Structure 1
Amino acid sequence: MKNKDYWVAYGFLAPWLVGLFVFSLFPIVASLYLSFTSYDMLNPPVWGGLDNYRDIFTDKQFYQSLKVTLTYVLCGVPFELAFALLLAIVLNHSLSKAVNVYRGIYYIPSLIGGSVSVALLWRQIFGSEGLINDMLALLGVTGTSWIANPKTALITIIILKVWQFGSPMVIFLAGLKQIPKEMYEAAAIDGAGRRQSFFRVTLPLLSPVILFNLIMQLIGSFQAFTPAYIISGGSGGPVNSTLFYTLYLYQQGFQNYQMGVASAMAWILLLLIATFSGAAFWTSRRWVHYME
């Protein structure tokens, strides 16, 4: 502590440390405490033990929001990663001089896909008088209001999720660039075709990148809020078909003023994300071991 260099280092780190403790660690600890209390933001929190958790696990809306979110995650993430990997492979083998332009164009949806403006645009595209129905009308097909239909509302948001494939695509592309060409040459000498080279060379060597993208997309999908809030108007409709977990958490905390329940839901979400991330890591290790 007598060394001035340490003080200089801590001086430069001070803004980040203040942000870490004030805006991250303190809210985390505070939310854990509030999850065991009855708190409406207007009165002091009252300790209630496990009451919030008991109320949550007996709430039908909670299970509906969980079902919608799991459907969104289990359908959206695999399609998004598969589409991103496919385009990454195409761009990796492309000889076009404009390949860098294509990479930039494909990456744009990841930058703007989670914005309010895109969600509003998506709501218009899939509306009763939107672009999708106009295109169907040219084919002589009468469309419906995709957003207002409980059977298709969630599908439109999943399509928006898949559309944001740019970020994992760029990461896949970087991973593909790191695979030595000698590996493919050796596989070709052994008589391996494109399909065998993909499953025996590309996928095993790309598995760390796939795992990284999978975990990042899982975390982001469980935290999805803006599309469901904007497209459904904050209600989670129609008939709770787009009631995402985060949207229901928001309703409990900032519309019903049950911050204790909202805090408990946040910790359940944390455990849910940790469980799925751990399952993805375990499955990845098993898969790599099987491929070897």
Structure 2
Amino acid sequence: MPEATANGITIHYEDHGDPGDPPILLIMGFGAQLTLWPIELVEALVAKGFRVIRYDNRDVGLSQKFDGVKAPGMLKMVIMSKIGMTPSVPYTLADMADDGIGLMTALGIERAHIVGASMGGMIAQHVAARHADRALSLTSIFSTTGNPKLPAAKPEAIKALVKRPKSTEEDVLVAHGMHLSRTIGSPAYPADEERLRDRVRENVRRSFYPEGPTRHLSAIVADGDRRAMLKDVRLPTLVLHGEDDPLVPVEGGRDTAASIPGARLKTIPGWGHDLPLELVDEVADAIADHARGAMQDA
């Protein structure tokens, strides 16, 4: 299995397409393995003439775990954030952005189109702000700015995301994962039951590590409001968001686009917080067209 030492840790990755084609770095979100980027989307981007790299963030999937490193309690972090203090956390979203840049360096990639989903979009925003010289463009998918005044996630979405399964038996974990997918997924594009079950089971067998998301969440909370950082981003930016996202409401995407100078916003009715097969072609077209435009304008 391909692994690289990046930013001082071990990162598991997959590299698809012609190494000579323009690279796209896909950054996945909270507690999510690289497999949450549908292989159909990867293949569609490769067919459009791009080299596509997807990888497991630290603390998830097959990448390095931070066993035994404790995150502060959520209540403590929220209180500290509200009074303007930055809680001490195991690592930050900026650290995770450095992981992606380190992976690019390990693969000999000088610059790439950066595409992030959910928490991965937050990480991608840090790449755009802190490593602009390594990025060709930014695509932020169903992500947000950290603006505390934005609408919150629906209670059922939060509950499904943070609730621990009742046991570690495979069937229990699969049922838990399917419930999460159904709760935050696209109301207009529900996943086929059998395909969803098979996909969740494959992910459970690939890796089950519930401690990682706790540290991911602490990094998100500690990051706070990114709007001041985003106003200085000068990369060509595309924001994609579902109009029916129950986890990160569409206002998060609108705020992201409004915070980055010149950013373009594309919203899709019926799209939730997932990447359904029915939208693969539309999402791939949007990413590819944006990347080509960025290269032409460079």
Normalising to structure 2: TM-score of the pair?
0.20
Query: Relative to total residues, which structure has the larger strand share, 1 or 2?
Result: 2
Which has the larger Rg? 1
Q: Higher relative CO (CA 8 A, sep ≥ 6), structure 1 or 2?
A: 1
Normalising to structure 1: TM-score of the pair?
0.20
